[in-house]
Amino acid sequence: MVKNIAVIRGDGIGPEIVNEAIKVLDKVAQAYGHTFNYTDVDMGGCAIDKYGDPLPVSELQKCVESDSVLLGAVGGNKWNDVPGHMRPEKGLLRLRAGMGVYSNNRPAKIWPQLADASPLKKSIVEQGIDFIIVRELIGGIYFGEHKTEGDTAVDVLRYSESEIERIGRIGFETARKRNKKLCSVEKSNVLDSSRLWKNVMHRLSAEYPDIELSDMLVDNCAMQIVKNPAQFDVVVTENMFGDILSDEASMITGSIGMIPSSSLGATTCGLYEPIHGSAPDIAGKDVANPIGTILSAAMMLRFSFDMPNEADAIENAVSKYLDAGYRTADIMCEGMTLVGCKQCGDLIVSFLTKE
């Protein structure tokens, strides 16, 4: 099978972690007889430096025309002083909108080998951490009107019923494939947009009688994720809430460097990236953890390319790597063997066999 992948290495540690993910994809291609063609795309700070634009139309077009997109990370202190509409992160927002990917799915699953790395008490971790946050990606306050007049700034949070319904269906369908529990998170005691969100979710619930729907206010959810994460299976929420909660959820699993994500819309062309940032303070030092990016590549194979066996092979290789006691600095603990970014990728490749 031939697949065309747009590759956005981006800024900071982005190029390093993407390189390791490509090593793994190349091993998959060799083992299973596939061909992965890579097209480099400039986005973020590097695109600002090169084009004066965080995502030129020509670069976006490469992504839209691909079978899927693999992204490292964008941004950094170097571009903090550029105008707001030109910041590296604006390229990411433009990419999501241009690809029409409205559902961002972020798993929070603790690997048993990393149980001791969780900041939570052992008694909480032992109950299990395995849930997924389904985040609406191209609506809400990030895409509303933004303006500053004098000493007053305004950011508009807006959602339509259709936007809520389409992400709500993703939440219900995801729950149907897992443990049939869906928690809808909002702030309906304060926000009109959240009251609309809650109403739409309950209307949709009638179409999914096999799914147990619950409601939770976002501040309570933030608390419950650290108090009792085992209660969650699938969480569906709006853009900003999902951004914050998914970062919190990633840290209770031991390291943000381990967490992949997928962003999908109406087609199989998806955007796959680790949830961490560009970490410019460690860029070029060969200490970054590439596993979040490698697992994002596995999600691409599973959800966009219909290659479940190949995705399993990558995930099993990561598990074997952890079983062997190798750790990058972010998850290093006593008795383990410290490795760098490149060696981590090489080792995972060595553990990857055809399932």
Q: How far apart are CA 71 and CA 60, in angstroms?
A: 13
Out of 142, 159, 208, 272, pick the active-site residue: 142
Neighbours of 51 (CB within 10 A): 13
Out of 159, 187, 272, 326, pick the active-site residue: 187
Q: Which of 10, 14, 32, 28 is nearest to 297 (CA)?
A: 28
Residue 142 appears among annotated catalytic residues = yes
Q: How far apart are CA 114 and CA 327, in angstroms?
A: 10
In the chain, what's the furthest Cα-to-Cα distance?
62
Q: How far apart are CA 105 and CA 174, in angstroms?
A: 10
Phi, then psi, of 296 in degrees rounded to 5: -65, -40
Residue at token pair 């897992």: 178
CA dist list (Å): 88 to 46, 56, 64, 80, 240 = 8, 12, 19, 9, 18
Q: Which two tokens mark 67?
A: 């079978």
Residue 187 appears among annotated catalytic residues = yes
Out of 26, 247, 286, 346, pick the active-site residue: 247
Out of 11, 42, 243, 330, pick the active-site residue: 243
Catalytic residues: 142, 187, 219, 243, 247
